[in-house]
Amino acid sequence: METPEPLEPLAETWQRALCIVAHPDDMEFGAAAAVARWTRQGKWVGYTMVTSGEAGIDGLSPERSRVVREAEQVESARIVGVDTVEFLHQPDGVLEYGVALRRLLAAEVRRHRPEIVITGNFHDTFGGRSLNQADHIAVGKAVLDAVRDAGNRWVFPEQLQDGLEHWGGVREVWAAGSPRSGHAVDTTETFDLGVRSLQAHAAYIEGLGWENWDPEEFLEGFARPTGQRLGVSFAAAFEVFSMGWGE
Ligand SMILES: [Zn+2]
């Protein structure tokens, strides 16, 4: 067997991170344990959900699903120490990458002024043949652009009123669960909180109808081999995009 490629530890010299993902549950499928670690360190982490995942439960209408899924997300965020959860109410399943989405996300970055922006994997696959989902790809690409947009006062200048300033302080964008991850963070101590935060999506998980699916076993299946590559028991992997020039 080949020795797995080692992963570098992620930087933790920051105070504010904003997580921007397409759906409730996107953070909980792997990254939430890392968030729990950071909030324990006293860092501020906020969540922005582009949709409310309202098209995610087959047996529930979007109107009812939206309410259930937002409540589950707020609870699942609370478990990992996140108090700020915002929903942008864009249409689940049919997000389009483009200027409209960049505008919305740039406004979020300008309002929260993070040093790190976290999103999900936005490559075509999760590695191998597991295809990624269209909303994830649209959001991840738009996040990268919106971080740049947020720093340019001449892009979306209509946002810069009532004291809102442009914000060029984002050092890096991190894509959780990317097949091209070169970095990881030790989640050994907070793995259980990550499991609980995924379990908080109870109605969603039930709606998936996966028989005998165990959130803990599922998360361990990723965290353990990732941990091995970092030299710890459990870890979460991220692909790092530097937002500076010449780095
Ligand atoms: Zn998703």
Quick one: pLDDT at residue 95? 98
- Locate all alpha helices (DSSP H) within the chain, ordered by sequence: 32-40, 62-79, 99-112, 134-150, 191-199, 202-208, 215-230
Residue 220 contacts residue 123 (beta carbons within 8 Å) = no
Tell me the CA–centroid distance for residue 23 and ligand 1, in Å: 5
| pTM, full prediction | 0.96
Q: Rounded mean pLDDT of 226-239?
A: 98
How much of the chain exceeds pLDDT 70, in percent?
Answer: 98
DSSP-based three-state secondary structure for 215: helix
pLDDT in tens, 106-119: 999 999 999 999 99
pLDDT in tens, 161-212: 989 999 999 999 999 999 999 999 999 999 999 999 999 999 999 998 888 8
| 166-197 burial: b if 16+ Cβ within 10 Å, else e | bbbbbbbbbbbbbbebebbbbbeebbbbbbbb
Measured CA to CA, the distance from residue 204 to residue 37 in angstroms comes to: 25
pLDDT in tens, 150-162: 999 999 999 999 8
Quick one: pLDDT at residue 244? 78
Q: How many CB atoms are closer than 10 A to CB 206?
A: 11
Supply φ then ψ for residue 202, to 5 degrees.
-65, -45
Quick one: pLDDT at residue 128? 85
Query: What average pLDDT is seen over the chain?
Result: 96
* Ion ligand 1 — residues with CB < 5 Å: 22-23, 26
Tell me the CA–centroid distance for residue 162 and ligand 1, in Å: 33
Q: Please classify residue 157 by burial: count the beta carbons closer than 10 Å to its beta carbon, then call 0-12 exposed, 13-18 middle and 19+ buried.
A: exposed
> For residue 101, what are the contacts with CB-CB under 8 A and spacing of at least 6?
50, 90, 95, 138, 139, 142, 146
pLDDT-derived band of residue 92, with 50, 70 and 90 as boundaries? very high
Tell me the CA–centroid distance for residue 244 and ligand 1, in Å: 28
Measured CA to CA, the distance from residue 43 to residue 82 in angstroms comes to: 10
Residue with tokens 């922006």: 117
Tell me the CA–centroid distance for residue 234 and ligand 1, in Å: 23
Measured CA to CA, the distance from residue 34 to residue 226 in angstroms comes to: 13
Rounded-to-10 torsion of CA 165, 170, 174, 175: 30
Tell me the CA–centroid distance for residue 161 and ligand 1, in Å: 33
Q: Please classify residue 118 by burial: count the beta carbons closer than 10 Å to its beta carbon, then call 0-12 exposed, 13-18 middle and 19+ buried.
A: buried
Tell me the CA–centroid distance for residue 137 and ligand 1, in Å: 10
β-partners of residue 186 are 235
Tell me the CA–centroid distance for residue 26 and ligand 1, in Å: 5
